Amino acid sequence: MKNNKKFETNSIRAGSIRSDQGEHSEALYLTSSFIFKDAEEAAARFANTDQGNVYSRFTNPSVSMFEDRLAALEEAEQCVATSTGMSAILACVMSLCNTGDHIIVSKSVFGTTVKLFDNILTKWGLRVTYVSLTKLNEWKSAVKPNTKLFFVETPSNPLTEVCDITSLSELAHESNSLLVVDNCFSTPAHQLPIKFGADVIIHSATKYLDGQGRCLGGAVLGKKNQMSLVANFLRSAGTSMSPFNAWIFFKGLETLKLRMDAHANKAMDLALWLEHQKSVDRVYYPGLPSHPNHALAMKQQSSGGGIVSFEVSGHKKEAWDLINSTKLISITANLGDTRSTITHPASTTHSRLSQQERDDSGIKDNLIRIAVGLEDIDDIKMDLSHL
């Protein structure tokens, strides 16, 4: 049955399972396994002819509730929860690709994502080509007869570049490939890639879906025929989400829209302020008219998001000096928290990339990334007053 409820309602009501105890706030199911009423039911569960719970590695009510709620928000047919955002990427590729398949990946992806492709997945016979996120001609030129996936982050980490999801999905489908979109920065509260033609959505639930920096988790979403392959991979590989973490994320989704709106409003304010600071050479934020992908971002997203990156005048020393001068903002590489965070991508999130790879991605030594939290924006500006 089609879900016709609005986003805010689904974020609070979708996916709820209640026991015969009648609890109002959904219960947390901390159990490794489930009891069967008889041997016949046990056999039916293991044969998948009875869809009840078996073992929490692949069936647990707390995890199912999170999966169903996030699927409703992303307007996807099915969601499969994973242990981390990186395991979501691993599960997606290992499930949907075979030895010898080719994947085209944006150069503007998280540093660890690059290492997953280059150091691990290629060992199993996958071939990877990196292209510019925003140059469609490079994607077209990279297509091979064995291309299976296009993989992007939009907006990207950390420069908030934005790709044309519709055009990229059309190109992918022309080559019988699937478009995979990491929707971590915008979340379904501000962007629905499936509406623009994306096939698979990736999330690090660790970030905005939780919203308070408490737990690790990830998710893969898409059509049921694709997600059944991902679910089967997790059942055997075991990179599953824990029930406790799922319950945390499930409750976090209740406030997702409220939080994302607040993050975006404060980030826009900060981005405008940064543009007027003499010691700032450039600001990267999709909500700014100065952003090269601003018009496209405003077509695909309902806001510029909560991430602001900027280049300070100088080099690494000047960037580090500013970071070290902060007293309020947390110096950490995580993002999506109620607390604002600040990091130097070249020496943290993207430090495992070579200098050439960072240069190709536009990540300079004077670049700083701020994930704007929910503190008062004037206090955040004051903490950056050494600019």
Q: What is the mean pLDDT of residues 251-268?
A: 98
Which of 237, 255, 273 is the last residue before a domain boundary?
255
Mean pLDDT of the chain: 96
* Same domain for 216 and 82: yes
Residue 185 has φ and ψ, to the nearest 5°, of -70, -40
Q: State yes or no: pLDDT of 1 exceeds 60.
A: no
Residue 109 to residue 106: CA distance in whole angstroms: 6
Asked whether residue 2 carries a pLDDT value surpassing 80, the answer given is no
> Count of domains in the chain?
2
Q: For the purposes of burial, counting CB atoms within 10 Å of the CB of 133, is it exposed (0-12), middle (13-18) or buried (19 or more)?
A: buried
Q: How many residues does the chain have?
A: 387
Same domain for 27 and 145? Answer: yes
The verdict on residue 86 lying in a domain is yes
- pLDDT tens-digit map of 124-133: 999 999 999 9
Give the CA diameter of the chain. Answer: 74
Is 14 within the bounds of a domain? yes
Residue 316 lies in a domain: yes
193 with 131, same domain: the answer is yes
Q: Both 317 and 221 in a single domain?
A: no
Confidence of residue 33 (pLDDT cuts 50, 70, 90): very high
How many of the other CB atoms lie within 10 Å of CB of 124?
Answer: 13
The domain that contains 195 carries what CATH number?
Answer: 3.40.640.10
Last residue of a domain, one of 226, 255, 284: 255
Domain end point (choices 231, 255, 279): 255
80 falls within a domain: yes
My answer on whether 55 and 162 are in the same domain is yes
What does 76-121 look like in DSSP terms, one character per residue?
-SEEEEESSHHHHHHHHHHHH--TT-EEEEESSS-HHHHHIIIIIG
Read off the pLDDT of each residue in 142-156 and give the average, rounded to a whole number. Answer: 98
DSSP 8-state assignment for residue 301: B
Does residue 39 have a pLDDT over 60? Answer: yes
13 and 133, same domain (yes or no): yes
Q: What CATH number is attached to the domain comprising 351?
A: 3.90.1150.10
Q: Looking at the structure, do residues 210 and 300 belong to the same domain, yes or no?
A: no
Q: Are residues 230 and 297 in the same domain?
A: no
234: in domain: yes
The pLDDT value given to residue 95: 98
In a domain? residue 124: yes
pLDDT tops 70 at residue 377: yes
Residue 353: band (very low, low, confident or very high) from pLDDT cuts 50, 70, 90:
confident
Q: Is residue 221 part of a domain?
A: yes
pLDDT tens digits along 307-339: 999 999 999 999 999 999 999 999 999 999 999
Write out the residue range of the structural domain in which residue 11 sits: 7-255
Cα–Cα distances (Å) from 251 to 71, 180, 239, 330, in that order, read 15, 26, 22, 24
Tokens representing 166 are 């519709």
Confidence of residue 20 (pLDDT cuts 50, 70, 90): confident
User: Same domain, yes or no, for 228 and 351?
Assistant: no
207 and 271 in a common domain:
no
Judged by average pLDDT, the poorest of 199-213, 216-230, 252-266, 354-368 is 354-368
What was the pLDDT predicted at 3? 79
Same structural domain for residues 158 and 287? no
- Does residue 238 register a pLDDT over 70? yes
Q: Side by side, which strands form the sheet with 280-284?
A: 280-284, 307-312, 367-371, 341-343, 330-331
Q: Report which of 317, 293, 318 is spatially closest to residue 305, judged by C-alpha positions.
A: 293
pTM, entire model: 0.96
pLDDT in tens, 275-298: 999 999 999 999 999 999 999 999
Does the pLDDT of residue 50 top 70, yes or no? yes
Beta carbons of 116 and 85 less than 8 angstroms apart: no
Clarify whether residues 239 and 328 are in a common domain.
no
Q: Is residue 1 part of a domain?
A: no
